[in-house]
Amino acid sequence: NHDESIDVDAIVADTPRATPAQVMSAITKDSVRRALFANREYVLQEDIDQAIQEQLVGMANPIEDMDPVLLRQVAYHESGHAIIQHYVMPDQRISRVSIVRRSSGTLGYMLPVDTVEMYGQPLRRIVSRIMVALAGHLAVKVFMGEFWTGATGDYNMARMEFRNLAVHGFFGPPVSELYRDVKELQFSDERVERIWVSLEEQIERMLVEHADEVEALTERLLERRDLSNKEVLEVLGKNSLQLAQDEGVEMESVLEQIGTNVEGLEYKRRQAKIAASKSDDSSSKVNS
């Protein structure tokens, strides 16, 4: 049995990266196990949500007596990821933000998922992913005054994405070791360092600008430990994509929400046609 309030659309939205086997196991086995352990004869939305998280990031393995300052550091770290994700990648959905340790060893995580399948993307979207990756570590520095450990995976992700940018020509002529295996790329090139530092500065400015939201999300995490998409949006509000959808804005692609590059010839030609059409309309009105 299951509770009638279960939101199937939310389950689908949260699981684009899950395999059919993972989803089936979460719904038919793991969620039922959680309900039975809670002495219930029916499955709740939370049972399914947590069962899916178990499939994606591992079983919950909470630390009951974690030092309060360390717990706050983890909360700031994940809030930093979430805030930057919310504003620079509105084409994605924040599925879950958690400061519950998992069997994989992670002390917390922010899980974004695509709202549509992506087969290609503008390189600035990769830049946005780098910003999200760096945001947790920088949030800790901004709000707690110093760097902490715990960002190794984030920085490895950022380096990988910088390599991704390099092999796609983002930095112009190839960086020095581009002819070698991509894993051997070194970041001695001043172009890479300049952009990395620039992104860090931009992230810090955004975190300060949205400090109230960072603090609010951090406190909510400390209170509940684990937040769904709905609970995150209760704190942050809807992002630009969700607001556009609510307003019925016609969009050719969700990528429009990360901005349109005005340097593209297609954009310039389209704007010229719009301007010409307006000019013709104005001339017609004057003549009439």
pLDDT score for 60: 86
Q: Strand, coil or helix: what is 175?
A: coil
Q: C-alpha distances in angstroms, 214 versus 135, 187, 205?
A: 11, 31, 13
CA distance 232 to 86: 10
Q: What is the DSSP string of 45-62?
A: HHHHHHHHHHHHH--B--
278: how many CB neighbours lie within 10 A of its CB? 10
User: Of the candidates 29, 52, 31, 53, which has an alpha carbon nearest to the alpha carbon of residue 43?
Assistant: 31
Contacts of 8 (CB under 8 A, 6+ apart): none
Which among 96, 81, 90 is positioned nearest to 203, based on CA atoms?
81
Burial 246-274 (b: 16+ CB within 10 A, else e): eeeeeeeebbbbbeeeeeeeeeeeeeeee
pLDDT at 227: 95
Confidence (pLDDT) at 201: 96
Positions in the chain whose pLDDT score sits under 70: 1-5, 16, 174-189, 257-263, 283-288
pLDDT of residue 69: 97
pLDDT at 148: 95
What is the value of pTM for the model shown?
A: 0.81
Q: How crowded is residue 159: how many other Cβ atoms within 10 Å of its Cβ?
A: 16
- Structural domain spans, the chain: 8-57, 68-246
Cα–Cα distance for residue pair 82/221, rounded to 1 Å: 12
Region at 169 (left for phi over 0; alpha for psi -120 to 50; beta for the rest)? left
- Rounded Cα distance, 116 and 173, in Å: 32
pLDDT single digits (tens) 217-259: 999 999 999 999 999 999 999 888 888 888 888 777 777 766 6
| Helix H or strand E encompassing 2 | none
Domain 68-246 fold: Methane Monooxygenase Hydroxylase; Chain G, domain 1 (1.20.58)
